[in-house]
Amino acid sequence: MRLKIDEKADALYLRIDDSPVFESEEVSPGIILDFNDNNQVVGIEIANLSKRSSGINYHSLQYEIA
């Protein structure tokens, strides 16, 4: 799993696996899901990241394992 944040594009991309993207679908404004040929989600893009959350620090990420 990889997480990429593009400050210039103001977007976050979470890549779940390395299978080729077969199709993409915008499921909500600025939320795009990438699917493989088995219709499984393999990537998630969130556009306009700074407008969705105030005070984003692109250089410090936190994650939690539940």
pLDDT digits (tens, 9 = 90+) for 7-18: 899 999 999 999
Q: Using an 8 Å Cβ cutoff, are 45 and 32 in contact?
A: yes
- Residue 9 domain boundaries: 2-52
Task: For 22-46, write each residue's pLDDT tens digit.
Answer: 999 999 999 999 999 999 999 999 9
32 lies in a domain? yes
Q: Using an 8 Å Cβ cutoff, are 19 and 57 in contact?
A: no
Tokens representing residue 25 in the block = 């679908």
pLDDT at residue 52, as a whole number? 83
10 lies in a domain? yes
| pTM for this predicted structure | 0.85
What is the number of domains present in the chain? Answer: 1
Task: For 42-58, write each residue's pLDDT tens digit.
Answer: 999 999 988 887 777 77
7 lies in a domain? yes
pLDDT at residue 53, as a whole number? 78
27 lies in a domain? yes
